[in-house]
Structure 1
Amino acid sequence: MKQFLFLLTGLFLGFQAFSQEVYFSVNQIGFLPADSKKAIVFSPEKIQNNIHLIQYPDSASIIKIKPKPVESGAWGDFNYYEIDFSEIENEGEFFLWHSASETSSPIFKIGSKAYQGYQEDLLHFMRQQRCGYNPVLDMVCHEKDGRSFFGPMPDSTYVDASGGWHDAGDQLKYLITSSYATGHMLMAYTLFPDQFEDKVNALGQDGENGIPDVLDEAKWGLDWLLKLHPAPNQLIHQIADDRDHRGFKIPNQDNSDYGWGANSYRAAYFATGKPQGLMQYQSESNGMANIAGRSAAALALGARIWKEIDEAYSIRCLEAAKSLYALGRKYEGVQQGNSFGAPYRYNEETWNDDMEWAGAELFKATGEQSYRDQAKEYALISSNEDSWTVKDSASHYQLYPFINLGHFSLHEVVEPEFQKTLETFYQEGIDYTITKSKTSPFEVGIPFIWCSNNLMTSLATQLILYEKMSGDKQYQPYLTAQRDWLFGKNPWGTSMFTGIPEKGDFPVYVHTAPYVMLGLEIPGGLVDGPIFRTIHSGLIGLTLERPDDYVGRQNPFVVYHDAVGDYSTNEPTMDGTAGSIILMTYLSKN
């Protein structure tokens, strides 16, 4: 009788434990041997049992870990626990196991080469976004971009603005985002020149051409920037508008109509430094220093790099950079994006940071003292006023770019006292986000506004650049936490990059035409990422066309869906992907 009761009790307890919902959140790529190694496990109920770190594939238990309760803050009614296995440095593949519920984490690596080569996936996604000749789709699109509006010539005059990149899942093109994407890739190359492969030619087709692929992609951007500045007083800032949004379409079969029929000419908007809009939705533009400054910075960087590759091209880039910088000085203020029939646009409000970056890069390219002096003035004005890192929230693209690369660029060429000032700007932003992160079980301190993943990769980049500037390594564990969030240590246990890691949980049902129309799953694209539920609930046209994979893991604070219809959280962006290349290359190198 006693034996029967023991067996019955054991079966009952086993059933109860097995029925418990236990969720693991861990970086699915894994960890470098010396990393801080942490995961989060959570459940609607309290978790009583130890978590095992299991070696794969031999199923040997390496250590037993007692879950450490962590504060959940606003993250809902789950019970959250930290699993810390930082002491394990031996290389291999592992997973975490909760025996009572028979629940496990994904398999991940510990190894010195865990992140090697992922930056190339990001470049592959950038090639998918190319307009003009697209090597991934092997087609030519939008050859008739575009017809002028607000320019010095009569409206509807043809101007050659072909090329560049499609912005996201739509097929608009913006100087606002493309200037930053180009400059970021060029800076990634200057920081890590030996970390990039040469597997494609200038058109993005298979085959070496003696130039690292990151420079081939950046030159695609530089060529477009040069086209958009055809004369000293002319700068095109946007191609197409929300008339593009007529459902998913293959780029060379564009059904949008701007007055010349489907798959024909599209609007090309010239910067004027004044409010623009063809219909009732007017921008709040008051200058053009943001786009002129960023473009000048990218072109000055390109001039320095191409001096050893193609001197004539280098000279052309430098002359354009000088001209654009002068345009920014003349028209201080911001040129915002244009909309047509919808209220959404890029509402950038900052520009001192862009002119700082341009001045620093032009000083390096020319040696002219005035550029450095002006860059220092812009740096002091920009300080942290242009940074989301010291604010609790911001509007969509209000404080763009999401990292001030000018502080880092200028740091290399100023006296030690001013270097400390620039370091302090970065550090203040980092410390502010750390304070906010203490209310999160996942150690993240970003505001979950639209494109939150761009903020996350930019914060991680700022941590990297701060360490390079100052030599201060105190934030390494915090950097690791931001990295881990991006690859699965988040409420949904998913990577935020398409196709990374190859056998992991990552965005599949993405808001892009190549996926919807052709079934193409292109690795390397950074999706917009989770947003506050308060924002999500107010957006127009959101639909979930498939069951929510993460329904049991969702919380009342922030939301993410792997669904084509959720354009707010699951749309890969060109500038977000390009803006992650410094981070990904740093991880690959280390």
Structure 2
Amino acid sequence: MKKLLTCLLLFIILGILLNMTGLLGSKPIDENNQPTSTPTIVVDKPDVSNDSYIPITVDNETNFVTSWYTQGTDANVQSTATFDKQDVKVTYPGTTIASAQLFRDGIPLLKGSSYVLTADVNSTVNRDIEISFGDADTGEVYATDRITINGYTSVRFEFKMNSADKWNGRISFNLGNDGTANTSAEHTITVSNIRIRNGTKNDNTIKVNQIGYTIGNDKKCVFPYNQGDLFDVVNVKTNEIVYTGAIVNGVKNEKTGETNFTGNFTNVITPGTYRVEAQITGTSFEFTIGDDLYHSLSNDLLKFFSFQRCAYALDPAWAFDLAHIACHDTAAIVYDDPTRVIDVNGGWHDAGDYGRYVKTGTKAVNDLMLAYIANPSFFKDDAGIPETGNGIPDILDEARFELEWLMKMQADWGGVYNKAVTQGFPGDISPDEDMQRIYVLPAESTTTAGFISTMAIASIAYKDVDPTFAAACLEKTKKSWENLVNTPDFIEFTNPTDFTAGEYRDDKDSDERYFAGMAMWYATGDAQYLEYAKENYTKDNSATKGTSWSDVGAYGSYLFLMNSDAKKQGTFYETIKNEFKTQADILLGIINADGYQTSLENYSWGSNGYAANNGIQLMFAYDIFGDISYKQGAIEQANYILGKNSLNMSFVSGYGKNSPVNMHHRLAKSKNAFLKGALVGGPDNDREDTITAQLGANVPPAKVYVDQYLSYSSNEVTIYWNSALIYVLSRIN
């Protein structure tokens, strides 16, 4: 017994000692009585199984309206329809077989094309019917065929269009008097599984995600005009129809100049290569259904950043035709103190030019780090960047390249210079041929706050991979935080008159300050940072909005709401949560009303980037609320970018059957090389370059895009559009 008591006493003493050293999980306390370890951050998606969002039965009735009609000249006929069947009741057949018709107009009949009509026909009496192809406007008939229906009959009718193109063709099932006594009795004719195919060529009019759809996610396609009542999903390898569904939700779309219809084939979950075929002649590009579809695409989107590296030699071993020696590697002049020069080598060229900007750089690197934090298993060490193979996920290697440059942009007094640029944009030359002097332009309150947010997030992203670097990032925030707090005014620097570099003008800094406070609370748990964020929200309640480079508040709200300690904030927590839900629901409302399920109300410079940013916000909402509709909204933004749009284009170079080849990118232009994995800006209805300005005034907003190098307002590329798409793809894969 004495020995047992001695052991028990030793165990208690050991427990006390372990607890004092923190090994039993208590948080270490700093001199300000604040926990130095981070609060619990929950960033994984809710546990939602595939069964909960793959519907057991697809709804083929809601918002379905048949595109087939019946008419009688001297006959009496009525019809009822489902998406795959027409029941026609013939009360009185009239005098001729054409007296009663089941017909469909608006069918494109192109000269030289062969057309095949197939259908299943059943009649309650034995009788003849007639099928005809003709011109709905003039009544001219191109071809007819008379068929005897004896019970259930499969019919097939082929004809070749030898006349000029007709865009309002008519197909008619003539169901009137066939000259026999049978048709004089009241009877019903059922016509089902009607399909009209262009047997000569695929037209690829149906819009799909040209990369493909992951097995467990929603799968939708868009028809740019009324292409019938049903669509088929066809296995390309076997040419078999694996799914048939209804074409629904006709929406007049002013932004595209179309009336759009939707098909839902979410229940197709067998991996393979497929195409969609409409009831009336339309087809889609081929696409894939499978798992892990977006890994290679995300790798190339990430490798784009390596091509953007400044003051760094791009080796032919990995950069191929885009290789060049190190560029812009001389000391930079401090603009407001021209006697000083500093080292700001490194970082990413922002876009198609060679400027480096803190505002856009922090946005881009935040997207990369938050994507890694949310789904680290998605990112591998295999993107083909210079650091590939070092055992660290390439996304962290690439992000670190920018982080180390951002550290150089921090002045010794804590402010952060806003950009490193030359006085003017160079010509179409390689960056190593640009010999202009580099200038760093004065610090701004937005860049200082943005720097703090980014370094705080970095301290979390790297804590397990490189704790020393993570600690260094957090240490860097101290001087900048002091400067930010002691400089309450909004400070922005406009370009000098002799500079033509990009400006990235902002109109406030409340959102950056709010984000900075929330990010620091996220990283440290120190209540002073949360209080600072609250103060900035009180001053400007719009500070919580946005996931762009200029409006960053939603990042701050996300970090706050995903923090396990946030609920302790009571009313403030509920306010921010409700605001976040309202913002996400507004996006869903736009998506649900749009024919292509995009979140874009307007098409301005960088519209594709805005779509991707909205996808980020919707995934944030999914994490917070667990509502699958938010994830589905994010999926639709990726689908739009990757081909399900009115231009039928995947906006990422080198991906999809139809993608950009002439992006506005000086390096690629100077090397006459192809830049793969770059997301272009997309339609810009403001027509801000000489190319889009030449498009006719009748071109709809969603189609003001030109795949030309000089169309910089629609076809340039940037780091912060690529980063946003990487985030979305990593979350929906």
Instruction: Please indicate, yes or no, whether the TM-score normalized by the shorter chain is above 0.5.
Output: yes
Matching of residue 559 in structure 1 with residue 704 in structure 2: yes
Query: 1:334, 1:348 within 8 Å by CA — same for their partners in 2?
Result: no
Correspondence list, 1:277-288, <5 A: 288=444
- 3-state SS in 1 of match to 2:268: coil
Q: Is the 8 A contact 1:384 1:425 kept in 2?
A: no
Alignment of 1:508-523 (within 5 A): 508-523=661-676
CA deviations over 1:414-440 (Å, ceiling 9, x no partner): 225344333322221222233334542
Which of 262, 266, 270 is the matching residue for 1:82? 262
Indicate whether 1:436 and 2:617 are aligned: no
Give the 3-state SS of the residue equivalent to 1:531 in structure 2.
coil
Equivalent in the alignment of 1:300? 456
Distance change >3 Å, CA 118–CA 52, structure 1 → 2:
same
Residue pairs, 1:185-200, within 5 angstroms: 185-199=368-382
In structure 2, what is the equivalent of residue 132 of structure 1? Answer: 311
Equivalences for residues 100-179 of structure 1 within 5 A? 101=281, 103-135=282-314, 136=319, 137-150=323-336, 153=337, 155=338, 157-179=340-362
Partner of 1:465: 620
SS in structure 2 at match of 1:6: strand
1:337 to 1:320, Cα distance in 2 relative to 1, 3 A: farther
Quote the residue 2:86 is aligned against: none
Q: In the alignment, residue 287 of structure 2 is paired with which amino acid?
A: F
Please state how far the C-alpha of 1:578 moved relative to its aligned partner.
1.8
Q: Which runs of 5+ in 2 are unaligned?
A: 1-129, 132-141, 146-156, 170-197
Residue-by-residue CA offset, 1:124-170 (whole Å, 9 max, x unaligned): 011111111143325200012511212xx3x2532211111111000
Alignment of 1:394-413 (within 5 A): 400-401=550-551, 404-411=554-561, 412=563, 413=565
In structure 2, the CA distance between the partners of 1:496 and 1:328, relative to structure 1 (3 Å rule), is: farther
1:37 equivalent to 2:227? Answer no
For the pair 1:27 / 2:27, whether they are aligned, the reply is no
- Cα distance per residue 1:331-382 (max 9 Å; x no partner): 3324356364659631212322222222223234333221122123334555
**1:267 matched residue in structure 2:** 439
User: 1:128–1:134: 8 Å Cα contact kept in structure 2?
Assistant: no
Quickly say closer, same or farther: Cα 1:184–1:415, change in 2 above 3 A.
same
- Choose between structure 1 and 2: higher strand proportion: 2
CA contact (8 A) 1:527 1:569 kept: yes
Partner Cα separation in structure 1 for residue 299 and residue 509 of structure 2 = 31
- Whether contact under 8 Å (2:324, 2:430) holds in the other structure is no
- CA distance in structure 1 between the partners assigned to 2:539 and 2:652 by the alignment: 35
- Find the aligned partners of 1:219 and 1:291 in 2 and give their Cα distance: 18
Q: Per the alignment, in what secondary structure is the counterpart of residue 110 of structure 1?
A: strand
Equivalent in the alignment of 2:677: 524
- Are residues 474 and 306 of structure 1, via their aligned partners in 2, closer, same or farther at CA, if it must alter by over 3 Å? closer
CA distance in 1, matches of 2:272, 2:464: 42
Q: Distance in 2 between matches of 1:368 and 1:5?
A: 80
1:441 deviates by: 0.9
Aligned AA (1:433):
L
TM-score (norm 1): 0.82
What residue number does 1:394 align with?
none
3-state SS of the aligned residue for 1:70? strand
Question: What stretches of structure 1 of length at least 5 have no aligned partner?
Answer: 255-262, 272-287, 390-396
Offset, 1:524: 2.4
Q: 2:95: which partner in 1?
A: none
In 1, Cα distance between the equivalents of 2:330 and 2:365? 23
Following TM superposition, by how much is the alpha carbon of 1:105 offset from its aligned partner in structure 2, in angstroms? 1.0
The aligned counterpart of 2:647 is: 492
Other structure's SS at 1:161 match: coil
Q: Larger Rg: 1 or 2?
A: 2
CA distance in 1, matches of 2:367, 2:329: 26
Deviation readout 1:157-211 (Å, 9 max, x if unpaired): 322111111110001111111122222222222212222112479xx42642222
Shift of 1:385: 5.1
Query: Are the aligned partners of 2:511 and 2:553 in contact in 1 as well (CA < 8 Å)?
Result: no
Matched with 2:492 is 335
Identity %: 21
Equivalence for 1:281: none
Distance 1:496 1:408 in 2: 28
- Looking at both structures, which has the greater relative contact order when contacts are Cα pairs under 8 Å and sequence separation is at least 6? 1
1:577 is aligned, of 712, 722, 733, to 722
CA distance, structure 1, for counterparts of residue 159 and residue 492 of structure 2: 69
Q: Match for residue 430 of structure 2? A: 250
296-305 or 414-423, larger mean C-alpha shift: 414-423
In structure 2, the CA distance between the partners of 1:437 and 1:528, relative to structure 1 (3 Å rule), is same
CA contact (8 A) 2:622 2:628 kept: yes
- Residue 319 of structure 1 deviates from its aligned partner by 2.3
The structural deviation recorded for 1:457 is: 0.9
Kept after mapping to 2: 8 A contact 1:403/1:462 = no
Give me the whole-angstrom Cα distance separating, in 2, the residues matched to 1:530 and 1:91.
33
Question: 1:5 and 1:466, CA in 2 relative to 1: closer, same or farther beyond 3 A?
Answer: closer
Partner of 1:478: 633
Shift of 1:568: 0.7
Distance 1:314 1:388 in 2: 26
| Per-residue deviation, residues 407-465 of structure 1 (Å, max 9, x unmatched) | 11122142253443333222212222333345421122323221111211111111111
Give the Cα–Cα distance (whole angstroms) in 2 for the partners of residues 456 and 77 of structure 1.
20
Equivalent-residue separation in structure 1 for 2:360 and 2:596 (angstroms): 29
| Residue of structure 1 equivalent to 2:43 | none
Match of 2:526 among 335, 345, 368: 368
